[in-house]
Amino acid sequence: MAVMIHRALLATEKIQENKSYSALEKYQDDSHIADYAKESVSVLTGEGMIQGDQNHSFHPTRYAKRAEAARVLLRIL
């Protein structure tokens, strides 16, 4: 989901590319984020569009819950 949102925001020029992955340090499970998704997760985290959970985990291998997806969509609108 993060990659699709990131690419859509890049295509509409609502955000700019950022090759820094520093925002990933916030997540305890950052090593489990796929290489192709690291930039997207980092940019969206840095922009405040995604936040992870209260345990500082991103859970990159599980599906987003409906409420989580709705929260992200509200933040980008």
Query: What pLDDT, on a 0 to 100 scale, did the predictor assign at position 56?
Result: 94
Name residue 22's amino acid. Answer: S
Q: What's the mean per-residue pLDDT of the chain?
A: 92
Q: What is the pLDDT of residues 8-17, one digit of tens each?
A: 999 999 888 8
Q: Is 19 or 33 the better-scoring residue by pLDDT? A: 33
Q: At residue 77, does pLDDT exceed 90?
A: no
In the chain, where the domains are located: 2-76
Token readout for 55 is: 């345990």
pTM, 2 dp: 0.88
Query: What pLDDT, on a 0 to 100 scale, did the predictor assign at position 76?
Result: 87
Phi, psi torsion values for 37, nearest 5 degrees: -105, -10
20 DSSP assignment: -
